Copies of this chain bind each other. A is one copy, B any other.
Amino acid sequence: MRIISILLALFFGLSSHAEDGSALWLRYVTGTKAEISCRKQSPTLNIAVSELQKYWKGGLPVDLEVNATKELRALGNEGYTIRTSADGKQITIASSGEQGVLYGVYHLLRLQAAEQLSESNSDSTPNSKLKVLNISEKPDYRIRILNHWDNLDGTIERGYAGHSLWKWEELPAVVSPRYEAYARANASIGINATVLNNVNASPKILSDEYLQKVKVLADIFRPYGLKVYLSINFSSPAALGGLPTSDPLNKEVIAWWKKKTKEIYSLIPDFGGFLVKANSEGQPGPCDYGRTHAEGANMLADVLKTYRGIVMWRAFVYSPTDSDRAKQAYLEFEPLDGKFRDNVIVQIKNGPIDFQPREPFSPLFGAMKKTPVMPEFQITQEYLGFSNHLAFLAPMWKECLDSDTYVQGAGSTIARVTDGSLFAHPLTAIAGVTNIGDDINWCGHPFAQANWYAFGRLAWKHSLSSEEIGEEWLKQTFLPIAGQPSHNSVNETSQKERQQLHSQLSLLNSQLLQESREAVVDYMMPLGLHHIFAWGHHYGPEPWCDIPGARPDWMPSYYHRADDGGIGFDRSSKGSNATAQYHSPLCEQLDDVNTCPEKLLLWFHHVPWNHQMKSGRTLWAELCYAYDRGVQEIRNFQKLWAPMEKYIDPERFRDVQHRLKIQARDAVWWKDACLLYFQQFSKQPIPYELERPVHELKDMMEYKLNITNFECPPYGIIK
Contacts and interface: CB of A to CB of B under 8 A. Distances in A.
Contact of A688 (B639, B684, B693): B639
Give the copy number: 2
Contacts of A281: none
Contact of A642 (B639, B684, B688): B688
Interface stretch (A231-239, A394-402, A659-667): A659-667
Contacts of A695: 661
A170 interface: no
A556 to B, nearest CB: 23
Contact of A718 (B661, B683, B688, B719): B719
A357 to B, nearest CB: 21
Given A3-B618, A642-B685, A685-B6, A664 B715 contact: no
Given A3-B618, A719-B718, A639 B684 contact: no
A638 B692 contact: yes
A695 B662 CA distance: 8
Nearest to A715: B699
A623 to B, nearest CB: 14
A718 B694 CA distance: 11
A632 to B, nearest CB: 10
Interface residues of A, number: 37
A642 B686 contact: yes
Nearest to A10: B683
The residue among A635, A657, A658, A664 with the most chain B CB atoms within 10 A of its own CB is A664
A87 interface: no
Interface in A141-173: none
A696 interface: yes
A635 B3 contact: no
A7 B684 contact: yes
B618 A689 contact: no
A98 interface: no
Nearest to A7: B683
Interface in A647-694: 657-658, 660-661, 664-665, 683-686, 688-694
12 contacts: A7-B684, A638-B692, A639-B689, A639-B691, A642-B685, A642-B686, A658-B696, A660-B692, A661-B692, A661-B695, A661-B696, A718-B719
**Top 5 closest A-B pairs, CB basis?**
A638-B692, A661-B694, A664-B694, A642-B688, A665-B694
